[in-house]
Amino acid sequence: MSEPSSIEVFLAALGDQQRASRHTVAAYRRDLLRCQHVLPALGAPTLAALTPPQMRSLVAALARDGLSGRSIARLLAALRSYYRHLIDAGSLRADPAAGIRAPKSPRRLPATMDIDHIARLLEFDAADPLAYRDRALFELLYSSGLRLAETVALDRTDLDLADASARVTGKGNKTRVVPVGSRALHALRDWLARREPLAGGGPALFVSRHGRRLSARAVQQRLRYWADRQGIDRRVYPHLLRHSCASHLLESSGDLRAVQELLGHTNIATTQVYTHVDFQYLARVYDAAHPRARRRGS
């Protein structure tokens, strides 16, 4: 079997057997194709023929091309997954990427919005059903810290108004139940009272004007529209609301485990990035308020 065919068999198995999302499958395809483009410079005919020294040269070449350490780590994960597939199929003896690490890159802190900007964004007058939908959608994103893909995948039956909660299917097809705040509940009730004429009995919680499940791109566009209309002078996107929810909750509670569970992070190290955001806020307050915070001569 040629390597392109072998890769397609692997990607099909990734989606069908391992239940990876189509976004993950597409990302793995892009990463494997990117590696294949470097093969001639390494003197290797296929990805399966790479040796550990050639694999290190591959990582170095990608870093020279400006790929971040995080992107290279994701690419190595795609390669290792592909190699496991080949080993299980008896087509490869050992993983040439074993033990090879991506170079470290500076950790980027997640951007957040302050509470005043959040309030300005969310408190708009709704004059039609789509505006009520948008307000409910944005309130839910911020209230429960949801990912965009999780939000657009919600069905009406996933929402429990009496319990003030939502059942969310996240990465790896893992389900979690998250609380829904009072303002989000109020906005959702307003939307649900106007949803049925558009949804026409369909299952999706959020639908377009044509009754189809709202797409991720449509949410991004509507959020940009309302941010501009509300005079928010910065780029606003769905994940910014998730970051802001996590940061504000951690700032108020200090409960890292609770925030981890809310966000659906498998590893608490992923959640700990928000402690750095909070420290930056603390440092600014300290510098402004503490009588001995400023250096002499500054």
Which entry of 70, 120, 171, 194 is annotated as an active-site residue? 171
Catalytic: 265? yes
The torsion of the CA quartet 226, 232, 235, 241, rounded to 10 degrees, works out to: -70
Which entry of 85, 195, 242, 248 is annotated as an active-site residue? 242
Rounded Cα distance between 237 and 165, Å, is: 23
Contact 276, 158 (CB under 8 A): no
Q: What order do you get walking across the sheet with 159-160 strand by strand? A: 159-160, 165-169, 175-179
Structure tokens at 204: 């999706």
Which entry of 147, 195, 222, 248 is annotated as an active-site residue? 147
Catalytic: 142? no
Q: Give the CB-side neighbour count of residue 82, counting CA atoms within 13 A.
A: 31
Catalytic: 186? no
Q: Give the CB-side neighbour count of residue 276, counting CA atoms within 13 A.
A: 10
Catalytic: 295? no
Burial of 220 (0-12, 13-18, 19+ CB in 10 A): middle
Q: How far is CA 163 from the centre of its chain?
A: 26
Catalytic: 242? yes
Rounded Cα distance between 222 and 138, Å, is: 10
Max CA pair span of the chain: 72
Contact 104, 60 (CB under 8 A): no
Catalytic: 174? no
Nearest to 281 by CA among 253, 247, 234: 247
Q: Position 136: which residue type?
A: A
**Active-site positions?**
147, 171, 239, 242, 265, 274
